[in-house]
Amino acid sequence: MEIEDPISGRIVLRRGSLADLAREIEKLSPQGALVLADRGIEDSWLSHVERALDGAGVEHVVMRMGGESCKSLEWAKAAWEAMADMGLGRKSATVGVGGGAVCDLAGFVASTYMRGTLLALVPTTLLAQVDASIGGKNGVNLTGKNLVGTFYRPDLVLIDPDTLSTLPREEMASGLAEVVKCGVACDPPLLSLVESVGAGLLDPSREELDLVIQRAVAAKVSVVRRDWRDLGPRMRLNLGHTVGHAIEAVSGYSIRHGHAVAIGLVAACRVAERLLGFEHAERVERLLARLGLPTGLPLPPGEVVRAALLDKKSWLGRLAMVLPEDLGSATVRRVPEEVLLEVLEGMAN
Ligand SMILES: NC(=O)c1ccc[n+]([C@@H]2O[C@H](COP(=O)([O-])OP(=O)(O)OC[C@H]3O[C@@H](n4cnc5c(N)ncnc54)[C@H](O)[C@@H]3O)[C@@H](O)[C@H]2O)c1
């Protein structure tokens, strides 16, 4: 699958597409590149990327990093300084190879160094392939998650599901949490597809996984195109994230993003059941559990509610959340704090 999109950029999605990277880089013909490479990826994947750059005659330097802690101003500064030391300019490229954290950092660095370089992303976790690399959002964390960042269109997103072959099962599950979210918020047939294969999708070699990635990417591209600044319909993709981000922050980022989103999704569905008569909360919860995702809250509910008040959707100290009205439809609503507290108390492990 190939998509050319004004907001999400050029997306190449195919098993084995890493072999096309040299050709894609040649099309961009960057004048030098900084590669931000995830520590978690196989050296052989990284060599592939380096050979593609060498083949296209692009001088480059590699910085290795990884995990949520690399989404920081310190890492951004280290990248900006490395680019300045190399003498890179606006026709140079920032290349992010790795999970969502590395992709978010790469997008932020690309959009800010000299007010913008070329940007190529090679996402290597399921979560980054279906979500983080799509739609042009990036960011780093301060006291709150993603508090500083920009919207910036990648020139290339190359998705090769073969790179998932080394991904641990719990990281596969983490990516599936965002897929389920996407199904509930905007694509009910995607939800049915995930239900029909179930835990088989935790196996990166399963053919159906390619279809799931394609559908999730296409759904996100289409929602983002209608609202690239996240002020209207795109906000529905934040379903599960008010509580999800709060869980990440309260746990000191020891709970991985997709797992936090799964718990946040259960919370949002249960709040929606009470406030909007949403009828599919149990179905969503059952599916998440089948995929090996957590559905109970392992943290003090009161602390999570306090952290949720810092969410970007809340304003003037009032809690707001994305809530599903029905499958395929979600809306931002004010939520009384006591309702969320009661729901989370009911979910406490
Ligand atoms: N910008 C967006 O629109 C957007 C959307 C969703 C999520 N995000 C962000 O994405 C981040 C989460 O991304 P994530 O779940 O990929 O986490 P991550 O980037 O922390 O990666 C998870 C782990 O997998 C390792 N890894 C990466 N590729 C691997 C591979 N092929 N084999 C083995 N290990 C590998 C990493 O080193 C890390 O330890 C969060 O910071 C979240 O905020 C951004």
Backbone angles phi, psi at 275, to 5 degrees: -90, -30
State the pLDDT confidence band at 143, using cuts at 50, 70 and 90.
confident
CA-CA distance, 275 to 292, in Å (whole number)? 28
Percent of the chain with pLDDT over 70: 98
Residue 175 Cα to ligand 1 middle (Å) = 9
Q: Which amino acid is at 183?
A: G
Res. 144: pLDDT tops 80: no
Pocket test for ligand 1, best of 15, 36, 38, 65 (most atoms within 8 A of CB): 38
CA distance linking residue 131 with residue 250, whole number of Å = 23
Range in 197-201, 211-215, 318-322 with the lowest mean pLDDT? 318-322
Q: Which CATH class is domain 2-166?
A: alpha beta
DSSP 68: G
65: pLDDT strictly greater than 80:
yes
Q: Please tell me what DSSP assigns to residue 316.
A: T
**Nearest CA owner, ligand 1 atom 4:** 132
Instruction: Look at residue 312 in the predicted model and tell me its pLDDT.
Output: 64
What is the structure's pLDDT at 229?
84
3-state SS assignment for residue 157: strand
Q: What is the residue with the minimal CA distance to atom 6 of ligand 1?
A: 132
Q: Which pLDDT band, with edges at 50, 70 and 90, does 69 fall under? A: very high
Which ligand 1 atom is the nearest neighbour of the CA of 68?
Answer: 20
- The pLDDT > 90 percentage for the chain reads 90
Average pLDDT, the chain: 95
Best mutation site among 105, 111, 127, 176 for ligand 1 pocket (most ligand atoms within 8 Å of CB): 127
CA dist 123 and 45 (Å) reads: 11
Q: How far is the CA of 257 from the centre of ligand 1 (A)?
A: 8
Residue pLDDT, tens place only, 270-284 = 999 999 999 999 999
DSSP β-ladder status, 156-159 and 9-13: parallel
- Mean of the pLDDT values across residues 69-94? 97
Nearest-angstrom CA–CA distance, 8 and 136? 6
Position 329 scores a pLDDT of 93
- Look-up of token digits 């290795």: 64
169-347: CATH topology is Dehydroquinate synthase-like, alpha domain (1.20.1090)
Residue whose CA is closest, atom 9 of ligand 1? 100
Q: How far is the CA of 174 from the centre of ligand 1 (A)?
A: 9
Provide CB contacts within 8 A for 164, sequence distance 6+. 124, 125, 126, 129, 172, 204, 209
Domain ranges in the chain are 2-166, 169-347
- For residues 191, 213, 240, 223, the Cα torsion angle rounded to the nearest 10 degrees is -90
Kind and range of the H or E run holding 37: strand 33-38
Task: Assess contact for 153 and 7: CB atoms under 8 A.
Answer: yes
pLDDT given for residue 91 in this prediction: 97
Distances (CA, A) of 235 to 21, 150, 251: 32, 16, 24
- pLDDT 10s digits, 15-59: 999 999 999 999 999 999 999 999 999 898 899 999 999 999 999
Question: Is the CB of residue 223 less than 8 Å from the CB of residue 239?
Answer: no
Question: Would you place residue 172 in the very low, low, confident or very high pLDDT band (cuts 50, 70, 90)?
Answer: very high
